[in-house]
């Protein structure tokens, strides 16, 4: 993308869907997602969330940072970059991963799309071009940021497959979780991946920005009957916590942005040990992670079921002797799980299943502030994970 | 015979700060100023009717907020207005803008080099790590590493703690940072020469070193470690010019019962039997005090105000070898209107920030070569600002004030003093560079004050016109400032103290040296510690 | 072929040989692989014209660790000296300035300057001694504490002085203390030789400490040093193979398990020790892909661009240098008439140009060591600065220009020298890179500055000789304490390798 000298006159860009998202945004509620504005909410956060879990929603994902990595060494490069074994990721498959700095601290998390041989798309929360280029010497690869070149929508919810079916995507119900498939769309290509950030049945749609509005319109043409609604970031945030997903800058500090030492976390400390493959060969952080494995980690990410119904946002976590051992990074009352849930980072050895932990919660009703100590139970696995999320063929009606 | 608890020599911002804190503590404090006006290099003067110039220092960021608050400077009229951005023009008609918005800035960098746009985040992170470290040391007295006194050991322990807190990677990087050149430092992040040049100025402002000289990376911190209302690295204008800083400090001093005597040049510090007992003015008046605090640089203090006979030969030698070189000049210009910068276009927001015209590191280095050869840079580094865009009170309505800092300008031209013809030629060099990017600039000039290091030396009393009261290289920093053994604000005579920018943490309108010196005086007098230490930065 | 317990040392430079000798003496099976046809690396004696031998690129021995000389019994293995304690001689029309350590032997130098010189040299030696002690230690945190203690032991004044002047530039220090331009020029030269720094550059005081030791000429040239080291290594049981360039390290299951030669042969090893410069070691033979990304980036930024050229002249007789008595011709001759001259020589290097009037350090070793040249003839060896590696316009064009500029300077100080030249060669940094296989052609394997010193050399994570990949170690000048023919890096590395092998016995992987 060539940037005009006068780019400063428009500090924040509309996304390729803006013509439609702005028309749909009855609340006129927006926030900034780096270069773009996206909707906080369109009509009502609670109802948008309900639409997601009950029917389906679209979320404008276009500002997500995307990189295209190509070249003969693309696989070797990806394998040295990230912690998991990319060789096991076949063309047409997506894998969630993290990547670490030399000290084994998580730089960012994201998804790798193995589009075809020697071609990968890496989606990440943060800007990564400097890190990706910094990892490239010694590899014959080309790395391009393509954030502005690819428009994206997350279509999520129990009826999402039905929407795509009605759109005419033949056989979409057979697409397995983390699968990718391409379809022709209005003279261009629509790439569909069965991925998402909601922990529900859902897809992500990737398309040329020129065709973005047409895609939106077609989706709503066919989706009305199965309850399709637009969804903003607030409702998405609810669903991702329910799914137990972590977010850079919220649940962990990206290691390459950290100014203070010891504020970062390793994959082990984020409950992501399953992403670390020591057997695959060298990758950045491997040595440090091996040492951490031998020595033991300093922190642990835990999923907590908090007693009562007061969300434990930003709460300090205490052990049974009322010693501060951690802090809640994300929390809410989960409508789907009907429980008061939280993600927290606690110091080792705290946070083992069955461990007694307490959250110090401040809340207010009609400007009266109260403090309460709520007992927390460590939960294993996601708070909410419906069977439809994994079902193949996906429910298509 | 008049007797004071403390006498402070020099009513610059540090002298006033020291005196204000001591007066606040209940001491009878007197500040003696050579000039009819106060402020030293933090001064606003009206040299062209209707225009207020920040004649010397011109922007504000380093002034420690602990002091701002501790001396109630807001109540005494000081208001700092932040400005955004900065721009470096290229010779081919383009520019790179340091927009305050981080996404716009990233895009602007990406316009020139996509990788550098993201590398900037790494650069900011690493520079901020260094800022955090040094900020924890600004409002403290440096330890003497050769001493075994409890106080020094305690400060050493603090230093060690802060250092270890950096973590192993940053510890190594810190040592590198203090010994590298700004060019090498920038090379570790950026590819584009323009992006490097855009950042290089901060490594050499006020410094008699080139961008390739080891030690210049550190100087960068003196342009990043300040803050305006917690925004680290932000810069602002003192409303009414930099004299507003001095006036507010003087207000605080007077409110606490202190006294300032202007037009009262000190001839000598009186000393007997290894301790000071007052000063004698040039008019012969003798003023007595057991405590004399000099805000002047060590050359003036030790070589002019004191008798060599009162001092150790070693101290005299160290004062003589103290490195303080004039390397900067300044133009203050009254403008009939706002000059245009065609590369930017009308109404561009970056006009309100600082503007620079060197677009390669080579031009920086060649500018330094001119200085080495004993002349001003023929293609100088300018830090150009139009403060009246942010603070309209400085000029009549619709008119403007332009402040142009110039690097490099020597104190002497190949061994001789400046003449009026030199000053004119120097002004023309600067005008030429500005006019290349602003064709209507010359036609708008109503008046220009030309300040070479010679004026700075003669008017402000900074030896050789060095704006930092001494070079900011490691051999003159922290426990080496001004020299080893005397970095704890105490002089070689009992009752004598130093409080100027020649002491830790150095130059820039920080006032930290003044505050730290006051803290040491109070400590020696066993009075309550009313001088704030640094706020925790966690 | 595999042989359990073997250590392969890649590169038979002086540090590689020192390392080999110590490892072999400790009972290890050691194989040294040298790419060239003979050992020695950058400390060799080579024939650059028929019958004319010269030490290249290093031509003077200083700072060589006496402990190594003693422990490896190098004298017994053939190391002798043609001349020790060379004086420094600066030619001049009004008579040469001749310095012998702190003594001014000849030259118009005021009494004040003579006194200042004594004080100056004493300070240099005191501080250099502290550094020399540290040179013999692996830069671990513990040894850093010992270093701090050594500084503390300089006494209050000495400690303060070291902490002050340690980062200073020579120009200011010399201007403060000396009057004589020739003296200042001579002293300034010691801070800039081998460095991409001018006398006004910070840290030149620190770099000058490397030169505080006396300079010697080994009999038979610098090749005699490495020759003796090779004999010592072999005597201890090490095997040395020349003409065996290594193409890459063999990495299996995350550790370096051997080397692959350019011939295709693979040699297994329990430990591989690289005497090569860090960029060759990590980026070329190992490959960035085996390294963590930030580490690899740091290695890439290790400053390795050489700024020194080497001039070799075969002469049909002894030249005459202005003002230099005949009996002083065999000393260390320098062309650095004053600080300003050195600074002016440096300035073009900042813009990727060579010095139009270079500074020179000249030796005529055949005066003391007649075997180096045919009877009656002589060899002139000169270090020529500044010659930036990345010369604008390239060295194919530039070599001739620098050669002419150098000869013009020589001719001015030694009229008639040009007519005595039988053969000549000028090795620019790319030539040194090619011939001696040093990235950037930097004789220290990388700029020897405070930001690349001790636990920062070459980069954190590899400064204690062990690479961040198991089974790989470094022993070259790219590690602490850096370049010059000192041997400390080889000896320190041997200690680290032995300790590591003791922890994880042969064949064991960590």
In sequence order, what DSSP letters do the residues of B108-167 get, joined into one string? HHHHH-HHHHHHHHHHHHHHHHHHHHHHHHHTSPPP-TT---HHHHHHHHHHHHHHHHTH
Residues A41, A158 within the same domain = yes
SS3 A50: helix
pLDDT of residue C507: 45
Phi, psi of B166 (to 5 degrees): -65, -25
Specify whether the backbone of B230 is left (phi greater than 0), alpha (psi in -120 to 50) or beta. Answer: left
| Percent of the residues in chain A that have a pLDDT greater than 70, as a whole number | 99
- A2: confidence class by pLDDT, cuts 50, 70, 90: confident
- Do residue A286 and residue C290 have CB atoms under 8 angstroms apart? no
pLDDT of residue C396: 95
CA distance A133 to chain C (A): 10
Q: Does A390 touch chain C (CB under 8 A)?
A: no
pLDDT tens track for C330-383: 999 999 999 999 999 999 999 999 999 999 999 999 999 999 999 999 999 999
CB A112 within 8 A of CB A94: yes
Q: What is the average per-residue pLDDT within A19-33?
A: 97
A49 shares its domain with A184: yes
Half-sphere exposure of C504 (CA within 13 A, CB side): 12
**Which of C249, C282, C293 has the highest number of chain A CBs within 10 A, making it the mutation to test binding with A?**
C293
pLDDT in tens, chain B (538 residues): 579 999 999 999 999 999 999 999 999 999 999 999 999 999 999 999 999 999 999 998 899 999 999 999 999 999 999 988 899 999 999 999 999 999 999 999 999 999 999 999 999 999 999 999 999 999 999 999 998 899 999 999 999 999 999 988 899 999 999 999 999 999 999 999 999 999 999 999 999 999 999 999 999 988 888 888 888 888 899 999 999 999 999 999 999 999 999 999 999 999 999 999 999 999 999 999 999 999 999 999 999 999 988 899 999 999 999 999 999 999 999 999 999 999 999 999 999 999 999 999 999 999 999 999 999 999 999 999 999 999 999 999 999 999 999 999 999 999 999 999 999 999 999 999 999 999 999 999 999 999 999 999 999 999 999 999 999 999 999 999 999 999 999 999 999 999 999 999 998 899 999 999 999 999 999 999 999 988 877 6
A330 shares a domain with A201? no
pLDDT at C510: 36
Which tokens go with C287? 């490959």
Nearest residue, CB atoms, B118 vs list A3, A130, A258? A130
* A212 and A357 belong to one structural domain: no
The structure tokens listed for B336 are 């009939």
Three-state SS for C21?
helix
> Using CA atoms, how far apart are residues B16 and A23, in angstroms rounded to an integer?
61
pLDDT band at C3 (very low <50, low <70, confident <90, very high): low
CA distances from B152 to A329, B141, B158, B160, B504 (A): 41, 9, 10, 12, 15
Domain assignment present for A288: no
Q: What is the DSSP letter of C242?
A: -
Quick one: average pLDDT of A91-101?
97
Pairing of strands A142-145, A65-70: antiparallel
Q: Find the DSSP H helices in C108-263.
A: 111-135, 141-152, 155-165, 170-177, 181-192, 204-209, 223-235
Q: Which domain holds residue A27?
A: 5-62+150-231
Does residue C1 surpass a pLDDT of 60? Answer: no
Taking CB atoms and an 8 Å cutoff, what residues of chain B touch A259?
Answer: 125, 128-129, 132
Is the pLDDT confidence value at A27 over 70?
yes
| Nearest residue on chain C to A287, alpha-carbon basis | C468
Encode pLDDT of A304-347 as tens digits: 999 999 999 999 999 998 999 999 999 999 999 999 999 999 99
The answer, yes or no, to whether residue C509 has pLDDT greater than 50, is: no
CB B383 within 8 A of CB B356: yes
Contacts of C298 in chain A (CB under 8 A): none
> To the nearest whole number, what is the mean pLDDT of chain C?
95
* Best residue of A100, A104, A130, A138 to probe chain C, by most C CBs closer than 10 Å: A138
B-contacting chains (≥3 CB pairs under 8 Å): A, C
Q: Which of A207, A231, A255 is the last residue of a domain?
A: A231
Q: Supply B167's token pair.
A: 């973590």
Residue C150 pLDDT level (bands cut at 50, 70, 90): very high
Overall CATH class of domain B2-42+61-78+240-323+464-524? alpha beta
Residue among C349, C390, C447, C450 with most chain B CBs within 10 A, to mutate: C450
- With vertex at residue C157, the alpha carbon angle to CA B488 and CA C139, rounded to the nearest 5 degrees, is 95
Residue in chain A closest to B118 (alpha carbons) equals A130
A214 and A324 assigned to the same domain: no
Let me know whether A57 and A156 are in one domain.
yes
The topology (CATH level 3) of C6-42+65-80+221-302+446-503 is FAD/NAD(P)-binding domain (3.50.50)
Domain spans in chain C, listed from the N-terminal domain onward = 6-42+65-80+221-302+446-503
Tell me if chain C has a CB within 8 Å of the CB of B379: no
Percent of chain A with pLDDT over 90: 95
- Residue B219's H or E segment, with its range, is helix B216-219
Please say whether the beta carbons of C86 and C214 come within 8 A: yes
Rounded average pLDDT over A267-286: 96
Establish whether this prediction's ipTM goes over 0.85. Answer: yes
Give phi and psi for B245, each to the nearest 5: -65, -50
Residues of A in contact with B195 (CB under 8 A): none
- In the stretch 430-469 of chain C, residues with CB closer than 8 A to chain A read 461, 468-469
- Same domain, yes or no, for A197 and A313? no
Contact by Cβ (8 Å): C403, C311: yes
Scanning C314-441, the segments in alpha helix (DSSP H) are: 339-350, 395-413, 429-436
Asked if A259 and B107 come within 8 Å (Cβ–Cβ), the reply is no
- Residues paired with residue C18 on neighbouring β-strands, in sequence order: none
The pLDDT of residue C505: 57
Contact A76 C288 (CB under 8 A): no
**DSSP-derived 3-state class of residue C123:** helix
CATH of the domain at A201: 3.30.1360.120
CATH of the domain at A324: 2.40.30.110
Q: Please, are residues B241 and B394 in contact by the beta-carbon 8 Å criterion?
A: yes
Pairing of strands B286-289, B2-4: parallel
Interface check for A257 against chain B (CB to CB < 8 A): the answer is: yes
Establish, for the pair of chains B and C, how many residue pairs have beta carbons separated by less than 8 Å.
Answer: 85
SS3 content of chain A, % helix, strand, coil (to 5): 25, 35, 40
What are the angstrom distances between the C-alpha of A230 and each of A35, A40, A58, A165, B111? 21, 11, 5, 19, 34
User: CB–CB of A196/A189 below 8 Å?
Assistant: no
Of A183, A177, A166, A147, the closest CA to residue A56 belongs to A166
Contact A8 B104 (CB under 8 A): yes
Mutate to test the interface with A, among B88, B99, B103, B134 (most CBs of A within 10 A): B103
A326: in domain: yes
Q: Which residues of C touch B172 (CB under 8 A)?
A: 455-456, 460
Residue C40: pLDDT over 50? yes
Give A34 to chain B, closest Cα distance, Å.
Answer: 6
Please report residues of B whose CB lies closer than 8 A to that of A130.
Answer: 115, 118-119, 121-122
Q: Tell me if B107 and A3 make a contact (CB, 8 A cut-off).
A: yes
Q: Identify which of B145, B179, B187 has the shortest CB distance to residue C167.
A: B179
* Partners of residue B165 in chain A, C-beta under 8 Å: 261
Chain C: residue whose CA lies nearest to A80: C289
* DSSP class of B385: E
What are the φ/ψ torsions at residue B534 (nearest 5 degrees)?
Answer: -60, 150
Flag whether pLDDT at C508 surpasses 70. no
Radius of gyration of chain C (CA): 22
With beta carbons under 8 A apart, name residues in chain A contacting B132.
259-260
Least CB-CB distance to C289: which of A76, A134, A288?
A: A76
- Is the pLDDT score of C481 beyond 90? yes
Q: What is the pLDDT of residues C197-243, one digit of tens each?
A: 999 999 999 999 988 889 999 999 999 999 999 999 999 999 999 99
Q: Calculate ∠ Cα A59-A60-A64, nearest 5°.
A: 115
Q: Which of A76, A138, A284 sits opposite C292 (nearest CB)?
A: A284
Q: How many domains does chain A have?
A: 2
pLDDT digits (tens, 9 = 90+) for C401-454: 999 999 999 999 999 999 999 999 999 999 999 999 999 999 899 999 999 999
Would you say residue A395 has pLDDT above 90?
Answer: no
Beta strands in C351-484 (DSSP E): 359-363, 378-385, 421-427, 472-474
Q: What is the pLDDT of residues A150-162, one digit of tens each?
A: 999 999 999 999 9
């Amino acid at each position: 993308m060539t940037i005009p000298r006068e780019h400063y006159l428009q500090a924040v860009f509309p996304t390729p869907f803006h013509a439609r998202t702005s028309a749909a945004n009855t609340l006129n509620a927006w926030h900034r997602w780096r270069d773009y504005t996206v909707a906080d909410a369109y009509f009502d956060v609670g109802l948008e969330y309900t639409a997601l879990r009950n029917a389906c929603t679209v979320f404008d994902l276009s500002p997500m940072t995307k990189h295209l990595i190509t070249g003969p060494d693309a696989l070797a490069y990806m394998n040295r970059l990230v912690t998991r074994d990319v060789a096991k990721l076949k063309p047409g498959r997506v894998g969630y991963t993290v990547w670490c700095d030399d000290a084994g601290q998580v730089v960012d998390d994201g998804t790798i799309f193995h589009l075809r041989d020697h071609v990968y798309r890496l989606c990440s929360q943060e800007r990564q071009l400097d890190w990706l280029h910094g990892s490239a010497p010694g590899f014959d690869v080309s790395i391009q940021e393509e954030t502005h070149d690819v428009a994206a929508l997350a279509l999520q919810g129990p009826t999402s497959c039905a929407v795509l079916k009605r759109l005419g995507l033949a056989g979409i119900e057979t697409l397995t979780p983390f699968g990718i498939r391409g379809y022709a769309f209005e003279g261009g290509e629509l790439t569909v991946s069965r991925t998402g950030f909601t922990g529900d049945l859902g897809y992500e749609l990737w398309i040329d920005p020129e065709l973005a509005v047409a895609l939106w319109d077609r989706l709503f043409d066919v989706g009305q009957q199965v309850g399709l609604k637009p969804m903003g970031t607030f409702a998405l945030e609810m669903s991702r916590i329910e799914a137990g997903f972590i977010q850079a800058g919220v649940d962990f500090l990206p290691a390459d942005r950290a100014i203070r030492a010891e504020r970062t976390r390793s994959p082990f400390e984020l409950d992501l040990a399953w992403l670390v493959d020591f057997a695959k060969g060298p990758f950045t952080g491997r040595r440090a992670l091996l040492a951490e494995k031998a020595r033991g980690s300093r922190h642990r990410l835990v999923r907590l079921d908090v007693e009562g119904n007061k969300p434990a946002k930003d709460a300090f976590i205490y052990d049974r002797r009322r010693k501060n051992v951690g802090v809640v990074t994300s929390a809410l009352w989960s409508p789907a799980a009907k429980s008061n849930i939280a993600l927290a980072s606690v110091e080792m050895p705290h946070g083992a299943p069955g461990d007694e932990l307490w959250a110090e919660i401040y809340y207010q009703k009609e400007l009266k502030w109260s403090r309460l100590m709520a007992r927390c139970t460590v939960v294993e696995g996601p708070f909410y994970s419906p069977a439809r999320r994994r079902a193949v063929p996906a429910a298509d009606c | 015979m008049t007797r004071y608890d403390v006498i402070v020599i020099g009513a610059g911002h540090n002298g006033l700060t020291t005196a204000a804190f001591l007066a606040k503590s209940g001491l009878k404090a007197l500040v003696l100023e050579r000039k009819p006006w106060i402020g030293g290099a933090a001064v606003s003067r009206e040299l062209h009717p209707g225009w207020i110039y920040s004649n010397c220092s011109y922007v504000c960021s380093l002034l420690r907020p602990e002091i701002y608050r501790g001396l109630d400077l807001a109540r005494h009229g000081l208001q700092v207005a932040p400005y955004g951005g900065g721009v470096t023009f290229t010779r081919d008609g383009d520019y790179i803008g340091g927009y305050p918005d981080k996404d716009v800035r990233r895009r602007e960098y990406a316009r020139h080099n996509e990788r550098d746009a993201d590398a900037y985040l790494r650069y900011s992170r690493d520079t901020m790590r260094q800022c955090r470290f040094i900020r924890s040391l600004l409002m403290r007295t440096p330890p003497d590493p050769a001493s075994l006194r409890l106080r020094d050991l305690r400060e050493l322990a603090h230093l060690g703690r802060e250092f270890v807190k950096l973590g192993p990677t940053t510890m190594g990087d810190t040592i590198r940072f203090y010994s590298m050149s700004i060019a090498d430092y920038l090379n570790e992040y950026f590819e584009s020469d323009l992006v490097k040049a855009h950042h290089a100025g901060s490594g050499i402002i006020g410094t008699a070193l080139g961008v390739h000289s080891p030690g210049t990376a550190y100087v960068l911190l003196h342009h990043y470690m300040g803050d305006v209302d917690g925004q680290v690295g932000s810069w602002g204008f003192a409303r009414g010019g930099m004299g507003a800083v001095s006036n507010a400090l003087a207000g605080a001093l007077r409110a606490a019962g202190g006294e300032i005597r202007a037009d009262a040049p000190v001839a000598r510090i009186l000393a007997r039997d290894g301790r000071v007992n007052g000063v004698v003015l040039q008019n012969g008046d003798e003023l007595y005090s057991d405590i004399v605090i000099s805000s002047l640089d060590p050359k003036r203090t030790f070589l002019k105000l004191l008798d060599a006979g009162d001092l150790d030969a070693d101290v005299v030698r160290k004062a003589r070898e103290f490195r303080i070189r004039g390397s900067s000049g300044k133009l203050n210009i009254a403008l009939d209107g706002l000059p245009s910068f065609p590369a930017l276009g009308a109404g561009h927001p970056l006009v309100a920030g600082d503007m620079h015209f060197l677009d390669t590191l080579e031009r920086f280095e060649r500018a330094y070569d001119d200085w080495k050869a004993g002349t001003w840079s023929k293609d100088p580094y300018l830090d150009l600002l139009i403060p009246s865009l942010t603070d309209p009170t400085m000029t009549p309505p619709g008119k403007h004030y332009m402040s142009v800092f110039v690097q490099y300008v020597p104190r002497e031209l190949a061994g001789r003093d400046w003449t009026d013809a030199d000053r004119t030629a120097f002004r023309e060099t600067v005008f030429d560079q500005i006019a290349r990017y602003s064709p209507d600039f010359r036609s708008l000039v109503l008046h220009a004050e030309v300040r070479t290091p010679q004026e700075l030396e003669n008017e402000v009393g900074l030896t050789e016109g060095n704006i930092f009261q001494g070079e900011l290289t490691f051999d003159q920093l922290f426990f080496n400032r001004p020299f080893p053994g005397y970095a704890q604000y105490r002089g070689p005579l009992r009752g004598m103290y130093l409080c100027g920018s020649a002491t830790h943490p150095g130059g820039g309108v920080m006032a930290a040296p003044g505050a730290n010196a006051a803290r040491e005086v109070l400590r020696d007098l066993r009075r309550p510690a009313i001088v704030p230490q640094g706020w925790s930065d966690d | 072929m595999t042989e359990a317990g073997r250590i392969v040392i890649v590169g038979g430079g002086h540090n590689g040989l020192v390392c080999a000798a110590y490892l072999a003496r400790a009972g290890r099976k050691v194989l040294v692989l040298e790419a060239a046809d003979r050992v020695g690396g950058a400390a060799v004696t080579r024939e650059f014209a028929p019958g004319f031998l010269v030490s290249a690129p290093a031509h003077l021995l200083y700072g060589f660790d006496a402990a190594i000389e003693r422990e490896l019994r190098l004298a017994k293995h053939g190391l002798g000296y043609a001349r020790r304690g060379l004086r420094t001689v600066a030619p001049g029309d009004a008579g040469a300035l001749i310095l012998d350590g702190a003594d001014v032997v000849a030259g118009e130098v005021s009494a004040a300057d003579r006194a200042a010189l004594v004080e100056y040299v004493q300070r240099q030696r005191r501080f250099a001694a502290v550094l020399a002690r540290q040179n013999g230690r692996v830069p671990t945190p513990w040894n850093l504490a010992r270093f701090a203690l050594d500084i503390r032991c300089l006494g209050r004044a000495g400690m303060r002085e070291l902490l002050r002047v340690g980062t200073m530039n020579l120009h200011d220090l010399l201007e403060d203390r000396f009057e004589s331009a020739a003296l200042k020029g001579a002293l300034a030269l010691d801070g800039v030789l081998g460095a991409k720094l001018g006398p006004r550059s910070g840290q030149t005081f620190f770099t000058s400490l490397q030169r505080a030791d006396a300079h010697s000429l080994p009999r038979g040239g610098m090749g005699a040093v490495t020759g003796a080291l090779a004999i010592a290594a072999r005597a201890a049981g090490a095997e040395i193979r020349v003409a065996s360039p290594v193409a890459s390290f063999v990495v299996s299951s995350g550790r370096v398990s051997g080397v692959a030669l350019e011939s295709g042969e693979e040699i297994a090893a329990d430990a591989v020790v690289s005497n090569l410069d860090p960029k060759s070691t990590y980026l070329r033979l190992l490959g960035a892909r085996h390294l963590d990304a930030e580490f690899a980036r740091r290695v890439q930024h290790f400053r390795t661009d050489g700024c020194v050229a080497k001039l070799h002249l075969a002469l049909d007789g002894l030249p005459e240098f202005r003002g230099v008595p005949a009996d002083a011709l065999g000393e260390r001759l320098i062309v650095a008439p004053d600080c300003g001259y050195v600074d002016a020589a440096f300035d073009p290097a900042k813009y990727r140009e060579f010095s139009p009037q270079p500074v020179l350090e000249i030796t005529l070793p055949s005066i003391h060591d007649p075997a180096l040249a045919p009877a009656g003839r002589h060899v002139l060896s000169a270090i020529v600065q500044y010659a930036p590696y990345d010369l604008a316009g390239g060295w194919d064009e530039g070599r001739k220009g620098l050669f002419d500029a150098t000869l013009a300077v020589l001719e001015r100080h030694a009229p008639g020298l040009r007519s005595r030249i039988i053969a000549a060669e000028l090795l620019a940094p790319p030539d040194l890179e090619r011939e001696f296989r040093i990235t950037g052609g930097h004789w220290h394997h990388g700029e020897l500055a405070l930001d690349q010193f001790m636990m920062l050399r070459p980069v954190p994570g590899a400064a204690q000789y062990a690479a961040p990949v198991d089974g790989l170690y470094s022993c070259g000048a790219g590690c602490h304490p850096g370049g010059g023919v000192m041997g400390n890096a080889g000896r320190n590395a041997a200690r680290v390798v032995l300790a590591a092998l003791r922890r994880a016995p042969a064949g064991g992987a960590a």
